[in-house]
């Protein structure tokens, strides 16, 4: 992790495929800025001891060792900060979320501060994104086995022993290997802080149009405006199946509105010392960051940089995606990233280029061919027995149609993906799952199929 540098990015977005509601925590830039301003205003006149106490609440955790060496190159300018909302209920009892055996990642956002502090991009990862989870340090001396699953499982795997640093490391490793964007800093916010902040302000007003009865969220609310706190506030922002369209993306919009109401309530209580201290104590006590961000000063510097940005230079985007059911008919619960559009977004971040909602939407409107329509021939050029079959099995699990496997006619110095005329889109659809691999048109390619020839540098197959 490197020293923080302030700055920020550009406008709203929607995902590819079916229309999506607004991206998660769309106003997070302004929320961070207001929260930091509250920290400064609340501590400036209270003496150094209070500043020291609140700053000391923030936990720092080094994660570089747990992430390992197989990481993307540093971004060509700018800073990338992974923001993780944690379902950890440590210290809160089991009144909500009973049955959880480990930490859970509820929200996953990537904040890119770019252009030497002139713009910023906030990218939301739907937690139902089907991706490759790499081998992660589980905190007990063992490593998990690489596999495909929902992206939010990475935090749970790393945090299986309750170590927030290890949990963050696995989430960072997963994001890096699926996006090829290097993470410079991280910030974890858990629910201990959420309920404490709400309660310190004597609750937050919500106005549901219909009664809400959600057994999973332990929620029973009447229609109309009312003030919620404790488990009711937590249940409201976490309820999924009883509200809206029942999707994680729909819930995110509700969380955004609640956070906006929370900030407005905090501003109204700014000059109530007891309420403000309780709010700040809970807010800082809920944070775990990398060592460089672990303190009020660096967080305030970051927030101040965001606050200074024009609103039209902060973009709020969601990784373009479509239902995984399109590729794997039996899966009606998860989403797959729209490869070409997602790659355009991630490349822009890696090169520190500003990406707006309008530019991303252009690419996201066109879906890649469904995996089941892409015929793939897998050839082993490594000389290691079984590599073609193993790779074919991974691609088949993603919905691709394997037309054949075998050995390459000669050893391959590097992995290649070739295609005949007319199959460029199919080749790009496959390449989206093999980061860094560029398809090559070849007159000698077998007709009707794209050919993946495995070399020693075969990229990990992503979701």
The per-residue pLDDT for 192 is: 64
Contact 165, 64 (CB under 8 A): no
Largest interatomic CA distance in the chain: 76
Tokens encoding 155: 């935090």
Alpha-carbon distance 433 to 309, whole Å?
Answer: 35
Crossing angle of the two packed helices 296-307 and 48-57, in degrees rounded to 10: 90
Contact 129, 321 (CB under 8 A): yes
Which distant-in-sequence residues (6+ apart) come within 8 Å of 422 by Cβ?
Answer: none
Residue found by looking up tokens 């309530």 in the block: 265
Alpha-carbon distance 462 to 179, whole Å?
Answer: 9
Q: Answer yes or no: pTM beyond 0.85.
A: no
- Residues of the chain with pLDDT > 70, as a percent, come to 81
Alpha-carbon distance 389 to 404, whole Å?
Answer: 9
Confidence of residue 296 (pLDDT cuts 50, 70, 90): confident
The per-residue pLDDT for 97 is: 42
Residue 375 has pLDDT above 50, yes or no: yes
Spell out the SS3 assignment of the chain. CCCCCCCECCCECCCCCCCCCCCCCCCHHHHHHHHHHHHHHHHHCCCHHHHHHHHHHCEECCCHHHHCCCCCCCCCCCEEEEEEEECCCCCCCCCCCCCCCCCCEEEEEEEEEECCCCEEEEEECCCCEEEEECCCECCCCCECCCEEEECCHHHHHHCCCCCHHHHHHHHHHHHHHHHCCCCCEEEEEEHHHHHHHHHHCCCEEECCCCCEEECCCCEEECCCCEEECHHHHHHHHHCCCCCCCCCHHHHHHHHHHHHHHHHHHHHHCCCCHHHHHHHHHHHHHCEEECHHHCCHHHHHHHHHHHHCCCHHHEEEEECCEEEHHHCCCCCCCCEEECHHHHHHHHHHHHCCCCCCHHHHHHHHCCCCCCHHHCEEEEEECCCCCCHHHHHHHHHHHCCCEEEEEEECCCCCCCCEEEECCCCHHHHHHHHCCCCCCCCEECCCCCCCCEEEEECCCCCCCCC
Handedness of CA 217, 222, 225, 230 (dihedral sign): negative
Alpha-carbon distance 147 to 397, whole Å?
Answer: 11
Mean pLDDT of 297-306: 81
Cα distances (Å, whole numbers) of residue 90 to 95, 140, 230: 12, 19, 15
Taking the alpha carbons at both ends of the chain, their separation in whole angstroms is 26
Residue 5 has pLDDT above 60, yes or no: no
Contact 103, 162 (CB under 8 A): yes
Q: In this structure, are strands 226-228 and 119-124 parallel, antiparallel, or unpaired? A: unpaired
CB atoms within 10 A of CB 70: 10
Tokens encoding 106: 């509820």
The per-residue pLDDT for 87 is: 66
Confidence of residue 88 (pLDDT cuts 50, 70, 90): low
Confidence of residue 43 (pLDDT cuts 50, 70, 90): very low
Residue 16 has pLDDT above 60, yes or no: no
Tens-digit pLDDT profile for residues 59-80: 899 998 899 888 998 888 889 9
Confidence of residue 431 (pLDDT cuts 50, 70, 90): very high
The per-residue pLDDT for 210 is: 85
Alpha-carbon distance 391 to 442, whole Å?
Answer: 22
213 beta partners: 220
The per-residue pLDDT for 24 is: 37
Residue 11 has pLDDT above 60, yes or no: no
Alpha-carbon distance 68 to 173, whole Å?
Answer: 8
Tens-digit pLDDT profile for residues 276-287: 778 778 878 888
The per-residue pLDDT for 297 is: 84
- Residues of the chain with pLDDT > 90, as a percent, come to 41
Tokens encoding 288: 């775990």
Among 170-174, 206-210, 340-344, whose mean pLDDT is lowest? 206-210
Residue 388 has pLDDT above 90, yes or no: yes
Average pLDDT, the chain: 81
Confidence of residue 94 (pLDDT cuts 50, 70, 90): very low
Alpha-carbon distance 11 to 322, whole Å?
Answer: 21
The per-residue pLDDT for 398 is: 92
Cα distances (Å, whole numbers) of residue 158 to 140, 152, 163: 10, 11, 8
206 beta partners: 226
Tens-digit pLDDT profile for residues 245-282: 555 555 666 666 777 777 778 777 766 777 777 877 88
Tens-digit pLDDT profile for residues 217-244: 778 889 999 999 888 888 887 776 556 5
């Amino acid at each position: 992790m490197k020293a923080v540098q302030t700055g920020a990015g550009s406008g709203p977005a929607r995902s590819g495929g079916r229309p999506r509601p607004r991206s998660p925590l769309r106003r997070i830039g302004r929320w961070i800025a207001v929260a930091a301003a509250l920290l400064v205003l609340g501590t400036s006149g209270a003496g150094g001891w209070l500043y020291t106490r609140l700053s000391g609440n923030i936990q720092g955790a080094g994660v570089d060792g747990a992430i390992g060496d197989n990481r993307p190159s540093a971004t060509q300018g700018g800073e990338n900060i992974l923001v993780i909302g944690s379902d950890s209920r440590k210290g809160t009892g089991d009144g909500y979320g009973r049955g959880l055996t480990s930490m859970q990642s509820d929200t996953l956002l990537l904040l890119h501060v770019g252009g030497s502090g002139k713009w910023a991009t906030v990218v939301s990862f739907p937690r139902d994104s089907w991706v490759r989870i790499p081998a992660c340090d589980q905190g007990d001396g063992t490593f998990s086995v690489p596999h495909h699953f929902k992206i939010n499982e990475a935090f749970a795997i790393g945090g299986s022993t309750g170590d927030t640093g290890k949990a963050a490391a696995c989430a960072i490793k997963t994001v890096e290997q699926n996006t090829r964007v290097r993470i410079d800093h991280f910030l974890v916010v858990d629910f201990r802080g959420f309920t404490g902040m709400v309660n310190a302000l004597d609750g937050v007003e919500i106005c549901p149009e219909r009664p809400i009865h959600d057994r999973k969220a332990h929620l029973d609310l009447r229609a109309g405006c009312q003030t919620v706190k404790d488990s009711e506030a937590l249940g409201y922002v976490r309820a999924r199946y009883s509200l809206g369209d029942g999707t994680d993306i729909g819930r995110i919009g509700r969380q955004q509105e609640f956070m906006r109401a929370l900030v407005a309530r905090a501003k109204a209580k700014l000059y109530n010392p007891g309420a403000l201290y309780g709010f700040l104590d809970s807010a800082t006590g809920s944070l775990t960051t990398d060592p460089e961000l672990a303190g009020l000063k660096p967080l305030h510097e970051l927030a101040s940089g965001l606050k200074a940005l024009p609103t039209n230079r902060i973009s709020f985007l969601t990784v373009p995606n479509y239902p995984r059911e399109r590729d794997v008919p039996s899966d009606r619960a998860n989403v797959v990233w729209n490869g070409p559009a997602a790659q355009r977004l991630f490349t822009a971040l890696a090169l520190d280029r500003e990406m707006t909602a309008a530019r991303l939407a252009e690419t996201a409107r066109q879906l890649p061919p469904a995996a089941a329509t892409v015929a793939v021939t897998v050839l082993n050029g490594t000389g290691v027995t079984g590599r073609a079959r193993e790779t074919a099995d991974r691609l088949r699990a993603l919905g691709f149609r394997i037309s054949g496997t075998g050995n390459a006619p000669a050893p391959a110095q590097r992995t290649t993906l070739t295609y005949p005329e007319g199959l460029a889109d199919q080749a790009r659809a496959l390449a989206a799952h093999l980061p860094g691999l560029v398809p090559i048109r070849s007159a000698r390619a077998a007709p009707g199929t794209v050919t993946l020839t495995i070399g020693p540098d075969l990229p990990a197959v992503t979701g």
